[in-house]
Amino acid sequence: MQLNNHSFEPILQKGTLATLARPSATFRQAAWRRLKKNKLAMIGLCTILLIFLLALIGPLLSSGSYSDQNLMQTNKPPSAEHWFGTDNLGRDLFIRVLYGARISLSIGVVASFLNLTIGVFYGGIAGFLGGRVDRVMMNIVDILYGIPVLLYVILLMVVLQPGLTNIFIALGIAYWLNMARIVRGQILSLKEQEYVIAAQTIGASNWRILVHHLLPNSMGPIIITMTLAIPEAIFTEAFLSFIGLGVAAPMASWGVLASEGITSLRSYPFQLFFPAMAISITMLAFNFLGDGLRDALDPRVRR
Amino acid sequence: MLRYMLNRTFNSLLVLLAIITITFFLMHAIPGGPFTSEKNIPAAVLKNIEERYRLHDPLWKQYIDYMGNLIRFDLGPSFKYAGRTVNELIRESFPISLQLGVFSIGLSVIIGIPAGAIAALRQNKWQDYTTMIFATLGVSVPSFVLATLLIYVFAIKLALLPAAMWGGFTYAILPAIALAAQPTAFIARLTRSSMLEVLAQDYIKTARAKGLSQSVILYRHALKNALIPVVTYIGPMSASILTGSFIIETIFAIPGLGRHFVTSIYNRDYTVILGVTIFYSVLIIGLNLFVDLIYPLLNPRIKFDGKQGE
């Protein structure tokens, strides 16, 4: 066997090395790549974006308003003029469903942001301080957890009187427990990590560590919980509207539209069909996206 | 073990006390008395009525009276229906809701558990996808939409089943399906994920290596352990069936407690709202306590420090 200088040249040339290693990805990029592979989640995401877009610009493009009555045109079935038909006061159902999207979606988003704020701070503080504070704070959460929430949302709405702002308040103060538990669990495990000790040694304040290090790293579970909290809020609002505790007329969320549609089910089933479809599609889209996000973001599921 | 049980029972009683107190003061914080909306009541009559219901007593005295009555299981009179008490109302209508609820729970267990188990055994095959699509649909479609759809198809178009009222088995079918859809979907998802976890355990491999038959492995080793987490869903499930019954009983005109509760909300019948809320809370908290107490017996690995694992 003959050896010469040529034999000792590195096999890997520049260039080939780069193609061998997988392009390095941050956690966020990796999660996004996993999410993109999940067809159902992407369908959900696109549907949600489409619904938000329709809710934002849809009412601007149409000529009529959601409260325009036309008593000559009552209970008309879907047609070229009125895509979803009209209701018992001759109001165009397509426009009302689009406006309903604005109300229902804003209830979902605002309520889950309230949950987020309360839950993240409560859970964050409990998890970060730990010890006795944590024990007392989490005991309170455990006790509140035993309360049948929906009953209390109903009770609050009876006391506060129906209306959009009051729905925000009632949903916001009722549904933060889950978020608080999840954030606390995350913080509790993250605060033992080396980078937190490193931050402490260079003299970062507790507040800075919580806001700049711990919370951004617990974003995964927080986003998942929020994605699943939005449809729950929409659902709860529809439920409240059904028992007469929703937003006040002439405003109409999907829940109000659906419960109006139920009363005329026998003669005009289309009046229930469209708002019901809108609720179901939105819920389905959020659930698909939430499940997909869980698979993509939750490191425990990544096998 | 005993300490854990006592601790849990004490906590539940604390929750109950907190709930009753919050509920009481919330109801009395409502602006205007329960009779102010009544238009044609002369001032003198109104005063007499308020006297009769002792609304002029200071709030703390009303609270103590109410608590005293509660201990004797007396929830007081209805404000809207003269001569009717909340106790009578519950005694009359709750059995109907209970029947419907038990029927729905049975339905969701019988369908949900096998569906979830099959989905787990055939993971990523068509059986799995079909089950999961139905499970996601079940969670996404609101119960009142499903209920009206069922009425439209089976009662109006096909005229197979009654659309409303109560009286015998056929009347319970449609409402029970509408009520069971969501819990069924949850149970199926829960069973599936828990079954997948169990099937990956070492003791299943050991059982296979021992040469046990597939059915023994499935029923005795896998399913039995996979169902333990499903037990914890009993509490939330009964809560969901209960709140679902508000809507379903209203749509199907079933004279159960759920419909009476909704009617009392429309009528602002405060004592009924207060009484039924307390009754439901006792029911759900009691069930949750029951589950927490039997859970350690089912799952010997649980620790007794009063906390469930993360």
The interface predicted TM-score (ipTM) is 0.74
Distance CA A282, CA B96 (A): 34
Q: How far apart are CA A113 and CA B49, in angstroms?
A: 45
Distances (CA, A) of B258 to B138, B245, B277: 22, 5, 11
- Cα–Cα distance measured from residue B248 to residue B174, given in angstroms and rounded to the nearest whole number: 10
Q: Which of residues 118-147 of A touch B (CB under 8 A)?
A: 142-143, 146-147
In angstroms, the separation between the Cα of residue B283 and the nearest Cα of chain A is: 10
Contact call for A143 and B288, based on CB within 8 A: no
B177 contacts B110 by C-beta, under 8 angstroms = no
Of B145, B239, B266, the CB nearest to A148: B239
Q: Using CB atoms and an 8 Å cut-off, which of residues 257-296 of chain A contact chain B?
A: 258-259, 262, 265-266, 269, 272, 276, 279-280, 283-284, 287-288, 291
Given a contact cutoff of 8 angstroms between Cβ atoms, the answer to whether A98 and A58 are in contact is yes
Give A214's DSSP letter: I
Angle at which helix A131-145 crosses helix A93-129, to 10 degrees, equals: 150
Q: Which chain A residues touch B15 with a CB distance below 8 Å? A: 143, 146-147
Distance from CA of B81 to the nearest CA of A (A): 19
Of A155, A235, A262, the CB nearest to B251: A262
Are residues B152 and A269, on separate chains, in Cβ contact within 8 Å? yes
DSSP state, residue A22 = P
The residue of chain A with its CA nearest to that of B259 is A243
What residue in B sits closest to A142 (Cα-Cα)? Answer: B11
pLDDT of residue B45: 73
Contact indicator for B230, B113 with CB cutoff of 8 Å: yes
CA distance B180 to A30: 39
Q: Which fold has domain A34-57+84-296?
A: MetI-like fold (1.10.3720)
Query: Closest chain A residue to B197 measured between Cα atoms?
Result: A301
DSSP secondary structure of B209-252: HTT--HHHIIIIIIIHHHTHHHHTTHHHHHHHHHHHHHHHHHHT
- Taking only the tens of pLDDT, chain A with its 303 residues reads 677 877 777 666 555 555 555 556 677 777 788 778 878 888 888 989 998 888 888 777 666 666 666 666 666 677 666 667 676 666 777 778 888 888 888 888 888 888 888 988 898 888 888 888 888 888 888 777 767 778 888 888 888 877 788 888 888 877 888 888 888 888 888 888 888 888 888 888 888 888 888 888 888 788 888 888 888 888 888 888 887 787 776 778 888 888 877 777 777 777 778 888 888 888 889 888 888 887 777 655 443
Q: Is B277–A245 a contact, with Cβ atoms under 8 angstroms apart? A: no
Lowest mean pLDDT across A24-28, B31-35, B181-185, B213-217: B31-35
A156 touching B (Cβ < 8 Å): yes
DSSP state of B77: B
Neighbours of A129 (CB within 10 A): 15
Rounded CA gap, B8 and B5, in Å? 5
- B144 and A235: CB-CB below 8 Å? no
- Which residue does chain A place closest to B14, by CA atoms? A143
B49 contact A CB<8A: no
State if pTM tops 0.80. no
Residue of A nearest to B129 (CA): A40
* Interface test with chain B among A158, A188, A301, by most B beta carbons within 10 Å: A158
The number of CA neighbours under 13 Å toward the Cβ of A153 is 29
> How many angstroms separate the CA atoms of A105 and A123, rounded?
26
* Bridge partner residues of B77 (DSSP): B85
